[in-house]
Structure 1
Amino acid sequence: MNTPTRAATVPADAVKAVRRFNRFFTRRVGVLDPYLGSNLSLTDVRVLYELAHREAPVASELARELGLDGGYLSRILRRFETAGWITRSASARDARQSVLTLTPTGREVFEPLQQRSRDEAAALLAPLPPARQQELVAAMARIETLLDPASAAPASTRVAVLRDPVPGDMGWVVQQHAEIYWREYGWDSRFEALVADIAAQFVRKFEPAWERCWMAELDGDRVGAVFVVRKSATTAQLRMLILTPQARGLGLGARLTDECIAFARAKGYKKLVLWTNSCLTAARGIYAKRGFQLVKSEPYEGFGQLLVGETWELRL
């Protein structure tokens, strides 16, 4: 009996979705047109790009990096050499290899193409507002990481996206609060009930002119959230700031807090308040650095623990 290949286990609708996306994207970025308005192919330009950006490149490295047949690449390089775009010199590392170097003429050909490519990428993003631009870039990075995990960028260089909530996000916020606070602080299910009630009240009584929620994503995954709710005509309240462990240390907690402050100021609130607990040292540090003042501290027993509740205020 034949053993099924991995490809045979992929659902047909998933295959169709990938092919549909390929058709959409190649059409959208103009790959089917003369590439970048030149008489060169996409492969030609990719080879020029590698020659321009690699230090002492040799043909075998280019073939491996671009996944090209050696004979096909050799024909491209001969064409470039005939046009006076590249020169060859003996490699100091391997005498059997030739180092390929773009000539000044070759750079004159390549550099306008590179600028045109930048301009086209900018034109693709320009119609989108900044948040959507970031969302698109993060989605592209997510695709790249899923298809090639080795290409994943370090956490410090990933693009984080803040977006409005969609159905399902409130459930995620409640779940993350329950799981993280139980795991890290031992808080029981009564805390989950409290968060669920706050989230439900936000949805039921939401005032879009005065209130806001931001969901944070990293590489397409939800990693955080924060809320601003209307407490009175002059006072807003920051609520339910949460970050998953994998998102910590990237400045997202500070960024979410800054969004709340900017929103409250823009809406004309005079004061932004929040309630937290003394054990939440990272969050307290974020608030203190932004000028929040601790105005009330009170011990209490809650969620199965002995805690110290704190009220903080920021004059806007």
Structure 2
Amino acid sequence: MRYVSSNSSGLVIKNHDLHPPEKDEVQIEVSYASLNYADILGIEGRYHAKTANFTPGFDCVGYIKRVSENIKDFHIGEKVAAIKQGGTFAEQVNINKNQVFKLKNNLCSRAVAANISNGVTAYDLVFHVTHIKPNDQVFIYGASGGVGSLLVQFCKYQGAHVTALTKSNKKQYVESLGADHLILRDRPANDTDKLYDRIFNPIGGESIEQDLLRLSMYGHLITYGHSSFQAGYLNTEIIHSKNLSILGYSSGSIMNDYPIKLRKTVHDVMNLVYKDKISTPIDSIYSMDEMEYAFEKMKNNRHIGKILIKMDT
């Protein structure tokens, strides 16, 4: 079995014999996996202390190849998706059953791979963490990214007014998602005095204190990442005087601590994908042998939509 690993010289493809699934595990023959920014950080050793020999891949779509003896609710040949904290950039992978989700046979595998991991995060943020309401004034960072683009769609689905931050070369794409107003990172902003009811922040660092000032009374700051690699400062005087709520979210924690909740979220997201209520365009599909081109494209931000890796041949 071939799989992708990282070392001091970059990405390498290795071979090894995958052991049979252990108790509560299924083995998946992987068709597609999506490339995420976390994969870039992982191979650089900057994602939750991932180190050398890290195998990228936080999700996959494929078919059940084997099941452990105690598994009764999954069967060989079933079409499934999975979410995992690294390791899915492989031809086969063993995954705990709580992180595996059955799919309708007529649901497009590529559409699932393009939406599942980012979709879970965005859906939970909008519907479970902060509960977006009609006419809420919402600010979204990185609106052309995997999570950001789905946040725009989910917030519009709820009737919110969305201000989206993006780059000039992705302006048309973010507008197509339904954003009401755009702020371009490479151009001066003209609405710095505007206040928001909800701000979705994946950056951390200095942006946290700035966002507290931009929140309206009773506003929510939702933090779900720290791409700046710096801790944010919370001014408790501002939080107290404006009655603000600070909300944190980690899909990895939900996966480990509340697998039943995760399963419900995946079901809801896949149902929206099936009904064409949300979508993430597929920028490109690379084979495992073309992996370095895919990583380079994402690292240099030369994509619009999702980059997929095709694992089967």
Taking structure 1 as the reference length, the TM-score comes to: 0.21
Greater share of helix residues, 1 or 2? 1
Answer with 1 or 2: which has the greater Rg.
1
Greater share of strand residues, 1 or 2? 2
Which structure ranks higher in relative contact order (CA pairs < 8 Å, sequence separation ≥ 6)?
2
Taking structure 2 as the reference length, the TM-score comes to: 0.21
